[in-house]
């Protein structure tokens, strides 16, 4: 027998030992192939609105032996341009995703085996579209003429900033128009918002009467270079941190030619026929992690406005004449105050005044009794104009007390609130550009209400119902809470005030709504007042030490009660 034939017989015998019916392979025989790692996704794609939170498709992974190895799956998300939007991380049950901008994202899943290599891959497509509010009738395109907006109100330097707003079902629309004859911007990082034309909007969407920042406080910064930065309150509640993922839909229209600082065109910007710029922003509640159902009736809002008038870097340093700045929440220079919160003390100075949300103006976004910003309703016959000729002051109490001759002060309490009028004879009316309001002629109106009434001395700290308002003849107003002079707390509240000069003197008129003083129509208590007046006389700057008072300011029990008009 040949060797080849012998080998064939032996091989056949061996196969017969292991394979039944060797001559009929394929009939009832099972030969298993190699098994691999498997990775599957619960869904191949996800559609969402910008800033909406969604759960990424859940993966299911198995090893060749069938064991569950889903805990080895990692996931990363990339934007349509290939950039990494969310770095790779282990998938956790319920992993959430938010798209900061519209577009196509890809969630890339990778299953790793025990030696560290990738055993399987899968992808899911995520499509994000802008989440507007069609019912609002507003589009964030930089045109703010839509009827759905509030009536614009003026603020900023010389009233050159007009602000409109709309709180829709899904988010906040802000429309800002700024008049500016010279549009200048600085691309240098440190000067983007300190040496460029622009503005800031501060929002406290947490409501309540917080005095410092909370987690629902935001600062939106805009400049004419087109930068829009959104900062969110830091955990320490003493400032803001830039959150680069917060990129609200916006539109900015420039009415003129923009000039870059240091661009070489130093001497010709005055030839530009610039008129200003208009900015429109939309902040979805989802972007701000806010459930619309939890939006309070009253939110806080404040503004700042910067006008740069030169493209020479050396001329527009902060505080320079060509770098003008206005802020709703700017404290006077050199003012330090202690904020007590959660057992900790914070010392706030003028450079971070935005931390004091009590300085924000109240914006009533719901309800029918009060809407808008700081516009309390007054009696039509009692004009807040600084004049002293209304017959409607009948029944007012004389609260001038021991003030010098030539100064008259009256106070009247009506159902809607408290009215105060001070009229001063003054041959030389002086104000001046002083940081200290008392450095010139000035009136201080101290109001004891609520638990402050009847106290024999002012407390350290403050009571919300007790107010102190300073007004000078130029119309500058400082708002404070009434407390010891050594612990001045600057605060904000609804009011109307007006100062007016006249021949031989000036007058001021103040109105504070009843709800700010904690007074209800059936309340039996009446606020009491202490009036202070500084008469500068036209000489050197005066100070708070020069106030003459109608009574002992430190003793609220000695204050003089306002008159009442019952049934009005």
The domain spans of the chain are 38-129, 134-364, 378-564
Residues paired with 120 in a beta bridge: 111
Query: Are 449 and 465 within 8 A, CB to CB?
Result: yes
* pLDDT of 389: 62
* pLDDT of 21: 40
270: left (phi over 0), alpha (psi -120 to 50) or beta: alpha
Closest CA to 326 of 203, 198, 496: 198
Query: Are 183 and 163 within 8 A, CB to CB?
Result: no
Closest CA to 183 of 267, 265, 253, 275: 275
* pLDDT of 6: 45
Query: Are 177 and 161 within 8 A, CB to CB?
Result: yes
* pLDDT of 520: 74
* pLDDT of 450: 83
Residue in the structure block whose two tokens are 């109100």: 153
* pLDDT of 173: 93
Residue in the structure block whose two tokens are 């992974």: 61
Query: Are 363 and 300 within 8 A, CB to CB?
Result: yes
Kindly list the distances between the CA atom of residue 415 and the CA atoms of 225, 410, 419, 465, 498, in Å, as whole numbers in the listed order.
50, 17, 11, 16, 21
461: left (phi over 0), alpha (psi -120 to 50) or beta: left
Are 38-129 and 134-364 in the same CATH fold? yes
Q: For the CA atoms of the chain, what is the radius of gyration?
A: 35
* pLDDT of 308: 93
Query: Are 496 and 529 within 8 A, CB to CB?
Result: no
Rounded-to-integer distance, Cα 266 and Cα 9, Å: 102
Element (DSSP H or E) covering residue 306: strand 298-308
Residue 165, C-beta contacts closer than 8 angstroms, at least 6 positions apart: 149, 150, 172, 173, 174, 175, 301, 363
Structure tokens at 102: 């519209």
Closest CA to 277 of 201, 179, 174, 181: 179
Structure tokens at 450: 């609520």
- Residue 120 has φ and ψ, to the nearest 5°, of -160, 155
Rounded-to-integer distance, Cα 60 and Cα 56, Å: 13
Residues paired with 319 in a beta bridge: none
Residue 116, C-beta contacts closer than 8 angstroms, at least 6 positions apart: none
Residues in the chain, pLDDT under 70: 1-34, 135, 208-212, 235-238, 263-272, 330-356, 367-390, 433, 460-464, 485-492, 521-523, 566-568
CATH topology of domain 134-364: Immunoglobulin-like (2.60.40)
Q: From the options 1.20.1250.20, 2.60.40.1190, 1.10.3720.10, 3.30.2320.50, give the CATH code of 378-564.
A: 2.60.40.1190
Q: Taking every pair of C-alpha atoms in the chain, what is the biggest distance, in angstroms?
A: 146
CATH topology of domain 38-129: Immunoglobulin-like (2.60.40)
**Strand 548-549 and strand 528-534: pairing?**
antiparallel
């Amino acid at each position: 027998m040949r060797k080849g034939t012998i080998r064939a017989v032996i091989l056949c015998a061996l196969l017969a030992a292991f394979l039944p019916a060797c001559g009929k392979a394929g009939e009832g025989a099972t030969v298993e192939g190699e098994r691999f790692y498997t990775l599957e996704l619960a869904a191949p794609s996800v559609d969402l609105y910008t800033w909406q939170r969604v759960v990424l498709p859940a993966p299911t992974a198995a090893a060749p032996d069938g064991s569950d190895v889903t805990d080895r799956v990692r996931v990363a998300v990339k934007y349509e341009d290939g950039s990494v939007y969310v770095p790779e991380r282990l998938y956790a049950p319920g992993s959430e995703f938010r798209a900061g901008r519209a577009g196509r994202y890809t969630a890339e899943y990778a299953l790793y085996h025990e030696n560290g290599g990738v055993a399987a891959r899968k992808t899911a497509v995520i499509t994000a579209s802008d989440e507007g509010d069609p019912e609002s009738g507003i589009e964030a395109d930089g045109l703010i003429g839509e009827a759905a907006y509030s009536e614009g109100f003026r603020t900023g330097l010389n009233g050159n900033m007009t602000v409109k707003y709309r709180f829709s079902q899904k988010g906040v629309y802000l429309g800002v128009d700024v008049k500016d004859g010279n549009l200048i911007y600085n691309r240098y990082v440190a000067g983007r918002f300190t040496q460029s034309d622009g503005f800031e909007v501060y929002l406290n969407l947490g409501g309540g009467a917080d005095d410092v920042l909370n987690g629902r406080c935001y600062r939106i910064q805009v400049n004419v270079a087109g930068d829009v930065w959104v900062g969110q309150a830091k955990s320490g509640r003493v400032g803001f941190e830039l959150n680069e993922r917060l990129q609200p839909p916006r539109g900015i229209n420039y009415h003129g030619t923009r000039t870059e600082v240091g661009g070489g065109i130093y001497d010709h910007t005055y030839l530009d026929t610039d008129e200003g710029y208009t900015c429109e922003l939309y902040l979805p509640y989802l972007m701000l992690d806010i459930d619309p159902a939890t939006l309070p009736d009253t939110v806080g809002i404040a503004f700042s406005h910067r006008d740069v008038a030169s493209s020479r870097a050396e001329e527009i340093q902060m505080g320079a004449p060509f770098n003008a700045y206005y802020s709703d929440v700017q404290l006077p220079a050199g003012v330090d105050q202690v904020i007590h919160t959660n057992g900790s003390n914070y010392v706030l100075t003028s450079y971070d005044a935005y931390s004091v949300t009590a300085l924000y103006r109240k914006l009533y976004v719901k309800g029918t009794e009060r809407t808008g910003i700081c516009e309390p309703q007054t009696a039509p016959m009692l004009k807040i104009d600084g004049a002293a000729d209304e017959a409607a002051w009948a029944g007012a109490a004389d609260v001038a007390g021991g003030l010098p001759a030539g100064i008259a002060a009256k106070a009247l309490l009506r159902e809607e609130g408290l009215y105060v009028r001070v009229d001063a004879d003054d041959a030389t009316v002086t104000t001046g550009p002083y940081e200290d309001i008392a450095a010139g002629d000035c009136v201080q109106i101290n109001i004891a209400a609520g638990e402050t009434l009847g106290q024999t001395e002012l407390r350290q700290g403050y009571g919300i119902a007790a107010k102190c308002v300073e007004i000078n003849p130029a119309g500058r107003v400082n708002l404070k809470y009434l407390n010891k002079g050594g612990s001045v707390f600057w605060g904000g509240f609804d009011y109307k005030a007006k100062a007016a000069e006249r021949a031989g003197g000036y007058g001021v008129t103040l109105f504070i709504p009843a709800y700010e003083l904690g007074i209800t129509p059936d309340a039996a208590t009446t606020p009491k007042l202490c009036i202070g007046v500084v008469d500068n006389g036209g000489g050197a700057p005066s100070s708070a030490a020069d106030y003459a008072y109608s009574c002992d300011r430190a003793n609220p029990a000695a204050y003089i009660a306002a008159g009442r008009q019952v049934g009005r």
